[in-house]
Amino acid sequence: MATKVFISHSMKNIELVNQAKAMLEQKGLNAYVAVSEPEPGQKLDEKIVNHIKSSSYFLLLYTKDAEASPWVNSELGIAVSMNKKIIPIIEEGVQLPSIISGIEYVKLDSINPETCIQGVCDYLSGLMASKDETKIIVAAILILLGILVLASILSE
């Protein structure tokens, strides 16, 4: 299953969000944007909590519009409470939310936002690859230990 990235954003930035979603998916990541995946009948707050919970990363696209959005700030609070890895992309002139002060962020280049988004996608892709390598190493060690135990049993 692909690594899931929850994208928190203002609806006023949907074009940029769709670009980020496409770039993440090109890297093999599952980008979740709530508005793109309707679940009729589902309570919206439960839907958001469930998708943040099932995500490995929380990508915060924090613009002037997002700063004013109660949904974005609520999603951020949920991600913080769940101890999610938060990757903030902050528009120039917007303050980093105090709840995540001290977290390194990426400045959103208003002239060339694609470069910024691409850099974040490359970073997340690298994190995913290093996790996959770790899983392979652990699996190889477990197989080797299994072989050694089996050899020990057979030699008795």
pTM of the model: 0.78
Average pLDDT, the chain: 85
Q: In this structure, what are the phi and psi dihedrals at residue 9, rounded to the nearest 5 degrees? A: -160, 170
For residue 17, the model assigns a pLDDT of 92
- Residue 16, pLDDT > 70, answer yes
150 vs 148: CA distance, rounded Å? 5
**Residue 29 — pLDDT band, cuts 50, 70, 90?**
confident
What is the average per-residue pLDDT within 128-135? 60
DSSP 8-state code for residue 2: P
With vertex at residue 4, the alpha carbon angle to CA 8 and CA 85, rounded to the nearest 5 degrees, is 65
User: pLDDT of 42-80, one tens digit each?
Assistant: 898 999 999 999 999 999 999 999 999 999 999 999 999
151 vs 147: CA distance, rounded Å? 6
What is the average per-residue pLDDT within 83-110? 90
Per-residue burial over 16-40, b if 16 or more Cβ lie within 10 Å, else e, is bbbbbbebbeebebbbbbbeeeeee
For residue 5, the model assigns a pLDDT of 92
Q: What are the structural domains, with CATH classification, of the chain?
A: 4-155 (3.40.50.10140)
What percentage of the chain has pLDDT greater than the value 90?
Answer: 48
Instruction: Describe the chain by its helix, strand, coil percentages, rounded to 5.
Output: 60, 15, 25
Q: In this structure, what are the phi and psi dihedrals at residue 125, rounded to the nearest 5 degrees? A: -65, -40
Q: What residues have CB less than 8 Å from 16, skipping those under 6 apart?
A: 9, 61, 113, 117
